[in-house]
Structure 1
Amino acid sequence: MPEPQDEQHAFHSCILDEDVIGYSNDTQPLHEDVVKIVAILEGAGIPCCFIEEYALIYYGSGRKQNDRVLCVPDDQHKKAIDLFNACSTILKPFRPSPMGGVGNLLRTYPRFKVVGQSDFWVIVTASFANIPCEPANIVKSIGGLPYPKLSVYAQSLLDTQNGTDLEELIDGMDLSQEWGEENLDLDGSIDVEWTRRRKDAVQAFGGNPIFLGLSTAPKQRRAVWQASVLRKGARMGLKKPAAVYATRWRRHGSQDPTSIQRNLI
Structure 2
Amino acid sequence: MPEILGGKPTFHSCILDEDVVGLSSDTSPSHEDVVRIIAILEDAGVPCCFIEEYALIYYGSGRKQNDRVLCVPDDQHKKATDLFTLHDTLLTPSRPSPMGGVGNLLRTFPRFKVVGQRDFWVIVTASYCNLPCKTADIVKSLGGLPYPKLSVYAQSLLDTQNGTDLEELIDGMDLSEEWGEKNLELDVDIDVEWARRRKDAVQAIGGNPAYLGLSTNPKQRRVAWQASVRRKKARMGLKKPAELYATRWRRHESQDPTCIRRNLI
TM-score normalised to structure 2 length: 0.97
Structure 1 vs Structure 2: percent identity of aligned residues?
Answer: 80
Where does residue 85 of structure 2 map in the other structure? Answer: 85
Q: Residues of 2 paired with 1:45 and 1:142: CA distance?
A: 21
Residues 67-110 of structure 1 deviation map (CA, whole Å, 9 limit, x = unaligned): 00000000000000000000000000000001133531010000
Q: Residues of 2 paired with 1:137 and 1:49: CA distance?
A: 9
Maintained 8 Å contact 2:102/2:206: no
Q: Residues of 1 paired with 2:7 and 2:52: CA distance?
A: 36
Where does residue 99 of structure 2 map in the other structure? Answer: 99
Q: Residues of 2 paired with 1:97 and 1:124: CA distance?
A: 14
After the TM superposition, list the runs of 4 or more consecutive aligned residues in structure 1 that deviate by more than 4 angstroms.
5-8
Q: Residues of 2 paired with 1:11 and 1:102: CA distance?
A: 19
SS at match of 2:113: strand
Q: Residues of 2 paired with 1:127 and 1:179: CA distance?
A: 25
Where does residue 239 of structure 2 map in the other structure? Answer: 239
Where does residue 23 of structure 2 map in the other structure? Answer: 23
Question: How far 1:12 moved relative to its partner?
Answer: 2.4
Where does residue 163 of structure 1 map in the other structure? Answer: 163
Provide structure 2 residue ranges, at least 5 long, that are not aligned to the other structure.
Answer: none
Where does residue 251 of structure 1 map in the other structure? Answer: 251
Question: How far 1:19 moved relative to its partner?
Answer: 0.8
Where does residue 73 of structure 1 map in the other structure? Answer: 73
**Given the superposition, is the C-alpha separation of residues 8 and 125 from structure 1 closer, same or farther in structure 2, using an over 3 Å criterion?**
farther
Larger mean CA deviation between 205-214 and 165-174 belongs to 205-214
Provide structure 1 residue ranges, at least 5 long, that are not aligned to the other structure.
Answer: none
TM-score normalised to structure 1 length: 0.97
Where does residue 263 of structure 2 map in the other structure? Answer: 263
**Given the superposition, is the C-alpha separation of residues 152 and 8 from structure 1 closer, same or farther in structure 2, using an over 3 Å criterion?**
farther
Question: How far 1:247 moved relative to its partner?
Answer: 0.3
Maintained 8 Å contact 1:137/1:149: yes
Q: Residues of 2 paired with 1:32 and 1:153: CA distance?
A: 25
Where does residue 202 of structure 1 map in the other structure? Answer: 202
Where does residue 138 of structure 1 map in the other structure? Answer: 138
Question: How far 1:211 moved relative to its partner?
Answer: 1.0
Q: Residues of 1 paired with 2:247 and 2:8: CA distance?
A: 44
Where does residue 189 of structure 1 map in the other structure? Answer: 189
Q: Residues of 2 paired with 1:9 and 1:157: CA distance?
A: 41
Where does residue 223 of structure 2 map in the other structure? Answer: 223
Q: Residues of 1 paired with 2:211 and 2:6: CA distance?
A: 32
Residues 165-188 of structure 1 deviation map (CA, whole Å, 9 limit, x = unaligned): 000000000000000000000111
Where does residue 108 of structure 1 map in the other structure? Answer: 108
Q: Residues of 2 paired with 1:63 and 1:168: CA distance?
A: 8
Residues 214-252 of structure 1 deviation map (CA, whole Å, 9 limit, x = unaligned): 110111100000000000000000000000000000000
Q: Residues of 2 paired with 1:35 and 1:41: CA distance?
A: 11
Residues 24-80 of structure 1 deviation map (CA, whole Å, 9 limit, x = unaligned): 000000000000000000000000000000000000000000000000000000000
SS at match of 2:11: coil
Residues 145-202 of structure 1 deviation map (CA, whole Å, 9 limit, x = unaligned): 0000000000000000000000000000000000000000011111101000100100
